A and B are shown apart, each in its own frame.
Chain A
Amino acid sequence: MASTIRVRAIANGDTTEVQALIQHPMDSGFVKDAQGAVIPAHFIQQLSFEHNGKRVFLADWGPAVAKDPYVKFAFKGAAKGDELKISWVDNKGASDSTTAKIQ
């Protein structure tokens, strides 16, 4: 199955800029469907980025993060060709992970 995670990590000198886009409904639990029934909350709770076994970024998300969430950050100490491991888990216990090469 295609990964839900799309990542671009670009090293520029010592700093690596990471952009990630994840496919997820991020239902808040406040929205009703066409029949008036509440769509239950379904959102990513934690998103983690690891480089060489060290966590470089951790996101704790609530349902107020927009659908198909996007996040951008930068960290130091990585080189081109290194691997960046990304994983998320949502409030229903579903999860996904992928590994991206730093460009």
Chain B
Amino acid sequence: MNFSIEKFSATRRLVLQGTGAVALFGLGGLAAPPARAAANDKYPEEAFKLKTDKDAIQALYGRTAEASDKVKLDAPEIAENGAVVPISVTTTLENVTSISFLVTGNPNALAASYAIPEGTVPGVANRLKMQQTSNVIAIVDAGGKLYSATKEVKVTVGGCGG
């Protein structure tokens, strides 16, 4: 029901992007698949499987991020329970299209990635799992550039190993 609608719109988006690519490059060759999962509605399965934050950011956005004080990452200094760590981000940057969270100490760094359509306030609060004390990175894609904020969270009880 719902998911079929999701799928449909995702497919339509792909088709539209494909058409765009064809228009751009003339009709020569096949339309290349959209390069970056972050730019469309498809679930970025591969990015979630990568181990390091660098690889995941590269897979998700195809670029590297620069640290910015305009990205405000709010996370606890010490998380008593790594299974539930409240983390949120807000930003004063404009034209934000995507916000992602990465936890460097987890088996797979990427934790969550959010699409921010036009008209949606660039800010998200959620709860993540953390296996061990490590850095939490928030990535904000604003106007085609990547900005990041990093904070270390100390974990007393890990949330991944049971």
Contact = CB atoms under 8 A, between A and B. Distances in A.
A28 B119 contact: no
A62 B103 CA distance: 11
Interface of A is mostly: strand
A97 B128 CA distance: 22
A15 interface: yes
B43 A46 contact: yes
Contact of B128 (A59, A64, A72, A74): A64
B114 interface: yes
Interface residues of A, number: 37
Contacts of B146: none
B126 A30 contact: no
Contacts of A73: 114, 120-121, 123-125
Given A55-B115, A87-B6, A95-B3, 10 more contacts: A31-B161, A55-B41, A57-B120, A59-B113, A64-B130, A65-B126, A65-B127, A65-B128, A71-B125, A77-B119
Interface of B: 1-3, 6, 9, 37, 41, 43-44, 48, 83-85, 88, 103, 106-108, 110-117, 119-121, 123-131, 159-162
